[in-house]
Structure 1
Amino acid sequence: MSNQLCEVIVLETSDLHGFLLPRSYADKTEVSYGLARIATIVKEMRGLHPNILLIDNGDCLQGTPLTYYHARINNEPPNPVVACMNELRYDAAVPGNHEFNYGLPYLKEAVEASSFPWLSANIVNEASGEPLFGKPYIVRELKNGLRIGILGLTTSYIPNWEQPQHIAGIRFDDPVETARHWVDVLKRQEQVDAVVVSYHGGFERDPETGGSTEPFTGENVGYAICEQIEGIDVLLTGHQHRAIAGCSINGVCVVQPSNEGRYLGKVTLQFERIEEVWTLKTCESELLSAEEYEPDETVERIAAEVETLTQVWLDQPIGRASGDMTFASHEEARLREHHFVEFINRVQMEVSGADISCTAIFDNQSPGFGKRITMREVVSNYIYPNTLKVLRISGSDIREALEKSAEYFELDERGAIAVSEAYLMPKPQHFNYDMWEGIDYELDIAREKGQRVTKLEWRGQPMRMDQTFDVVMNNYRAGGGGNYSMFRNKPVVKDIAVDMVELLADYIRERGVIEAGVNNNWRVVNSDERRISSHGSEQSGTI
């Protein structure tokens, strides 16, 4: 009998973050990405290949004003993200860390509305020890008898970020050890011919060189999964928003399709059957760019109802700004105090009653506030569903946190202040640089890491390291997110369980007019520039 060949295509989306339609929520301009464009690729691929598996790798339910509107303002219409995924006939989805942001009831409603299973072997019910979403894997058997096992895993680092009430009664087990058990089940009990692991997490090492790319925290263990677990053929990854394809680790074909529907991950598996046994001969991964495809009309139509309601809500005026609160340069706003950053910190202090506050500019697309403030500007600036916590911490904790923030900067080859490569790769982490109000401080980037805080005062006096202070910050940071370990397990003086978007909008509505202003309580300097300038150098020392 002649040998038989079979080709299977695995398609992956990851970190869609609710980006269904190819339009910017900041200014309504057309963009070259989004699920509607990805949908066109998927449907084209289905027309070309009979054996298609479509997997979403997590973080699909949160991230745009549309998803915020549906979760927080009006969830009567069907979930638009799930409805679009149902249309595309996803085979499975893996819950990401942001799936928990709107609470477990909202996530459960999304799961129940899905015509596909949600898989995560290492997210378990704490009481029973059983996988929270039911079966941790699925097996797809083709007409020719070839069997593909798909196992879901999620980063176990979620308790370091998420609101405790959103994950009450849930345990997040180690993905590596969990994979070890379930891959064995797939191979021995299910007798699958290939194992695909979809892991909402990324790589702690460079996929090509194996060199370390981040401090090991357990947030990303993709490399360890490939290196330590036998029997895996494909690892679908995400979480880091990286574009990775065309490489393998320990014989495991890997892929990561960036975020917001910029790429569709594609893995092509070639099998050969010899004497009734299927053998995987080749496996290759690639990325298909969404910008080359027009948006799918059906997906646009499905999303239209909630999208229209969202746009009306976004255009609601809620107040005015007196003075310039827009961002001319996000880089400059992280070097010297900006009106918008001052405003956020002041709001946090007023609503919490804390004397000290810290916040960040989340990305380099934040517009700030124009003269006429709308909900569109609020959600475009505050893109995460954070709440606030007031922690009681020591002066020593504050100094350590400032040193951590100072690591955001480095001196480039010209001796000028620049953003550290560690905060740009593998994905931008501008949200992990905090700026503080209620204290006076100076960071000198010319000094060694850990010694950059050259001034730290409270109420005009040097801050005592053994004194305690009540500090307000978002819940992500309060849980130690961004490797701010000094905040973990500190006493919570106050927990304000209202989204910052709502707090900001209410604050602006109540006052009507927001006055722009700064008190210049902090600055970032380069003492090398001072010394060089005193000798006649023209180097600017700025980003």
Structure 2
Amino acid sequence: MARKSILFRRLGAALLALLLLPATAAWAAEPAPAEAAPALAIYTTGDMAGRVGETDPMTGQTEENSYLKVASAMAEERQTVKSALLLDSGDAVANTLVSGSAADTALALRTIGYDGLIPSVEEFRLGQGHRAAFFRDLTQENGQGTPVKLISADWMDGESGQNAAQPYHIYTRQLEGKEIRIAVVGLGTLEVPQSLPSYYYSDSKFGHTDNTGMSYAWEWNHWIWPQLEQQNCDLVVVCCHADQETLEEFAAQTAGIDLLVSGHGQADMGTLENRDGQMVSWVSSGGTTLTRTEVILSDNGTPVIGESQLLRLSDYENDPALAQATADGQKAQQARAEQRAGTLSGNWTETTASATRQTQAADLVARAMLWTSGADAALITNGSLGYLPEQSSSGSGARALSLRDCATLASGDSPVVMVELTGAQLEAWLEVCAGRYQVDESGRVTGGQDADFLYGMDYELYVGGQPGQRVVNLTWQGQPVEGDRTYRVILEESHLYDDEFPSCTILWSAAADMQYAATGGTMASLLTAFTSRSGAVVPQRESTWAVYAGAVDSPMTRLGFVEMLYEVAGQPKPGANVAFADVTGSDAVVWAAEKRIVSGDGKGMFLPQMEVTREQAAAMLYNYARAEGLDLTTDGSAVNALSDRASVSGWAVTAVDFCLRNGLLEPVNGQFQPSATMTRAEVQRTMEVLKTLD
């Protein structure tokens, strides 16, 4: 409420000044003065996940949001702001395939000049030894930089039951000649028991004994606030490592808080209503911003929370001094990333995952997820996958798979969980996924980075179908998926935050499993375990899925026919990038042109959206058979037996006879009907027959 009243007062003062201007004054006489820097500001970060280097040690990709950027941002802010308070709301460290300590993160926090850290789940994922070392590096008086206060009101010593860190700390800052007392409270560990195996925190307990519901609000109302009320603080800041929904519930049950700092979710800010109906400011850095919240004096001289801003870290340069200080640690992680995780053998031709078609690279990740969890099926978001680096040209065809390779392919950073879903829920979700694709002007399926593919079950998606008719032939182990039957499905936990994802029960979490907890329980963690224990991994496909542009019963287009023919051929990489002026980005069409399976209209056009006729299909099938060296024996007897023989174009006679003799196309009541179109189901049958020809 204080923020709104201040805005209105400022606006009123500006309007009054305008009214008092002389009548002859020009509106644009002078440029408006630059906004004055705040005298006192509270800065926060959170969910930084150990991003200290210029690049990600696992993938080699540039870090757009890192502590190096925070260092530059704070150096710039301190040049103008008179007094600052800098806090990190937790999950400051990383637990990846190559990490395991957090010395560089501690060095970064100390060098930047953080005042406090509120530990959360990732700090405890370090394990007792690495966690103790991290906290010691962070808080010791000696060493580079300045000590950082460790603040946690809900972390207890396992033996004594007493607070293992300061529950709150009162900082003093100057504001317009006044000493301001700001209490910072840390709430960030109540999620630990649900997120980690007890091995990782056997020396600790979380929440006070009577807090049976493990509620942040209980900690505040029954323990923290009664103490703080006696401390004569001017402002109270609570760092509560929770998402916005939990933060809203916390605010609605509490009072006495001036600023709430969230720990999960995207960068955002706003106000929440507290128990007394007052509005409380809140900020979330989202791991991508530095939040800045002004502290100002009201008209009666009382310190109040002013405006907040989100300073995008990607807008800043890396701090060179901090980059140099952490360089050795980053090089060590990069070296570990090259360690062998397993071996790939065989011909891996599809090393890049695709949102629109099934690939060997995506199959590998899905197989790993099923193998490690024992689930019935795996749901994987296309955007969570990357690529496998090119194979070496060794004579054996085998190549080492490094930790970096695993992280590059399985690039999603969300923990993996196994849930229980009914067949009806699975089909409904695939319907949602079908709606996340588009069809471009040439008829190709595009988009789908935010859609899932389902591995372990066979199915087809028809993007152009009517809602409720986009998922076809959904089967599991050769039988139709039953709507009321439950299936165990493994997926990234981030699915559960999608508003369209069905409600479900979590059966298992990799992040809470002893085998995978230390590395975050991500897809990369599971892939590493799979490849290291399976010997030489070869390309293998245990289920199939496909995405098509039209509806299942719609006529097949020329583009669609060629793409299905391309799948039968094994999707070889063509030599060129384009073959016709009206088709771009289709390897299938370029391949078909190079193999002389198609020739277009003679004017440089392929006509991709034209419906393929039966005699056009026959010609393409015949040309394919010739390119593949199949037996082309034909004597014309099959085509001559047709009652509509005269309707078959001269250029198609031999091809039609070949297709009829080999069962690729069938007559209809003694006729071939050369100008008739084919549905996708008919073409699918044709392709299955084509696969059997030698």
Aligned to 1:371: 391
Matched-pair contact (CA < 8 Å) for 1:196–1:234: yes
| SS of corresponding position for 1:146 | strand
What amino acid sits opposite 1:192 in the alignment? C
What amino acid sits opposite 2:362 in the alignment? V
Q: Structure 2: how far apart are the matches of 1:413 and 1:315?
A: 38
Aligned to 1:342: 363
Aligned to 1:152: 186
Aligned to 1:263: 289
Aligned to 1:196: 237
User: How much has 1:83 moved relative to structure 2?
Assistant: 1.9
Summarize the Cα distance change of 1:106–1:401 in structure 2 as closer, same or farther, 3 Å threshold. Answer: farther
Aligned to 1:135: 166
Aligned to 1:303: 326
Summarize the Cα distance change of 1:26–1:107 in structure 2 as closer, same or farther, 3 Å threshold. Answer: closer
Summarize the Cα distance change of 1:127–1:8 in structure 2 as closer, same or farther, 3 Å threshold. Answer: same
Q: Structure 2: how far apart are the matches of 1:532 and 1:126?
A: 68
Matched-pair contact (CA < 8 Å) for 1:54–1:92: yes
Q: Structure 2: how far apart are the matches of 1:24 and 1:292?
A: 18
Q: Structure 2: how far apart are the matches of 1:166 and 1:417?
A: 46
Matched-pair contact (CA < 8 Å) for 1:338–1:518: no
| SS of corresponding position for 2:70 | helix
Q: Structure 1: how far apart are the matches of 2:492 and 2:197?
A: 7
User: How much has 1:324 moved relative to structure 2?
Assistant: 3.0
What amino acid sits opposite 1:14 in the alignment? G
Q: Deviations over 1:333-362 (max 9, x none)?
A: xxx43322211232344566x473425247
Aligned to 1:22: 54
Q: Structure 1: how far apart are the matches of 2:189 and 2:610?
A: 44
If the length of structure 2 is used for normalisation, what is the TM-score? Answer: 0.57
User: How much has 1:269 moved relative to structure 2?
Assistant: 0.5
Summarize the Cα distance change of 1:454–1:320 in structure 2 as closer, same or farther, 3 Å threshold. Answer: closer
Q: CA RMSD in A?
A: 4.6
Q: Structure 2: how far apart are the matches of 1:285 and 1:153?
A: 21
Pairs aligned (count): 480
Summarize the Cα distance change of 1:155–1:316 in structure 2 as closer, same or farther, 3 Å threshold. Answer: closer
Q: Does 1:358 align with 2:358?
A: no
Matched-pair contact (CA < 8 Å) for 1:477–1:484: no
Q: Structure 1: how far apart are the matches of 2:307 and 2:250?
A: 18
35-44 or 436-445, which deviates more = 436-445
Q: Does 1:9 align with 2:41?
A: yes
Matched-pair contact (CA < 8 Å) for 1:161–1:475: no
Matched-pair contact (CA < 8 Å) for 2:73–2:316: yes
Aligned to 2:478: 460
| SS of corresponding position for 1:327 | coil
Aligned to 1:294: 317
Q: Structure 2: how far apart are the matches of 1:282 and 1:487?
A: 41
Q: Does 1:521 align with 2:535?
A: no
Aligned to 1:175: 216
Aligned to 1:3: none
Q: Deviations over 1:221-280 (max 9, x none)?
A: 2233445533222222231133x24x4344323322232xx4211111013696xxx612
User: How much has 1:60 moved relative to structure 2?
Assistant: 1.5
User: How much has 1:121 moved relative to structure 2?
Assistant: 3.4
Matched-pair contact (CA < 8 Å) for 1:412–1:418: yes
Summarize the Cα distance change of 1:448–1:194 in structure 2 as closer, same or farther, 3 Å threshold. Answer: farther
5+ long unaligned stretches in structure 1: 1-5, 204-219, 425-429
Q: Does 1:229 align with 2:260?
A: no
Matched-pair contact (CA < 8 Å) for 1:186–1:195: no
Q: Deviations over 1:153-192 (max 9, x none)?
A: 2385666554465466545722334344466336521221
Matched-pair contact (CA < 8 Å) for 2:389–2:405: yes
What amino acid sits opposite 1:234 in the alignment? L
5+ long unaligned stretches in structure 2: 1-37, 140-147, 208-212, 274-278, 393-400, 558-606, 612-694
Of structures 1 and 2, the larger Rg is shown by 2
Q: Does 1:84 align with 2:108?
A: yes
Q: Structure 1: how far apart are the matches of 2:412 and 2:197?
A: 13
Aligned to 1:211: none
| SS of corresponding position for 1:82 | helix
Q: Does 1:44 align with 2:76?
A: yes
User: How much has 1:7 moved relative to structure 2?
Assistant: 3.5
Q: Deviations over 1:415-465 (max 9, x none)?
A: 998989xxx9xxxxx5xx76444333456776768x976544333223567
Q: Structure 2: how far apart are the matches of 1:167 and 1:448?
A: 48
Q: Structure 1: how far apart are the matches of 2:216 and 2:447?
A: 32
Summarize the Cα distance change of 1:233–1:313 in structure 2 as closer, same or farther, 3 Å threshold. Answer: same
What amino acid sits opposite 2:167 in the alignment? P
What amino acid sits opposite 2:285 in the alignment? P
Q: Deviations over 1:209-230 (max 9, x none)?
A: xxxxxxxxxxx32233445533
Summarize the Cα distance change of 1:491–1:142 in structure 2 as closer, same or farther, 3 Å threshold. Answer: closer
User: How much has 1:287 moved relative to structure 2?
Assistant: 2.0
Aligned to 1:216: none
| SS of corresponding position for 1:221 | helix
What amino acid sits opposite 2:303 in the alignment? L
Summarize the Cα distance change of 1:167–1:442 in structure 2 as closer, same or farther, 3 Å threshold. Answer: farther
Q: Using CA pairs below 8 Å that are at least 6 residues apart, which structure has the higher relative contact order? A: 1
User: How much has 1:524 moved relative to structure 2?
Assistant: 5.2
Percent identity, aligned pairs only, is: 19
Aligned to 2:92: 60
Q: How does 1:346-495 map to 2 (within 5 A)?
A: 346-350=367-371, 354=374, 356-361=376-381, 363-364=383-384, 366-372=386-392, 373-383=401-411, 397=422, 399-401=424-426, 403-404=428-429, 407-408=432-433, 410=435, 435-442=453-460, 455-463=473-481, 473=490, 486-489=504-507
Matched-pair contact (CA < 8 Å) for 1:46–1:52: yes
**Larger strand proportion, structure 1 or 2?**
1
Summarize the Cα distance change of 1:230–1:443 in structure 2 as closer, same or farther, 3 Å threshold. Answer: farther
Q: Structure 2: how far apart are the matches of 1:491 and 1:269?
A: 42
Aligned to 1:206: none
User: How much has 1:56 moved relative to structure 2?
Assistant: 0.5
Matched-pair contact (CA < 8 Å) for 1:7–1:271: no
User: How much has 1:114 moved relative to structure 2?
Assistant: 1.9
Summarize the Cα distance change of 1:59–1:175 in structure 2 as closer, same or farther, 3 Å threshold. Answer: same
Aligned to 2:335: 312
Q: Structure 1: how far apart are the matches of 2:92 and 2:57?
A: 17
Q: Structure 1: how far apart are the matches of 2:415 and 2:265?
A: 23
Q: Structure 2: how far apart are the matches of 1:485 and 1:167?
A: 30
User: How much has 1:376 moved relative to structure 2?
Assistant: 1.6
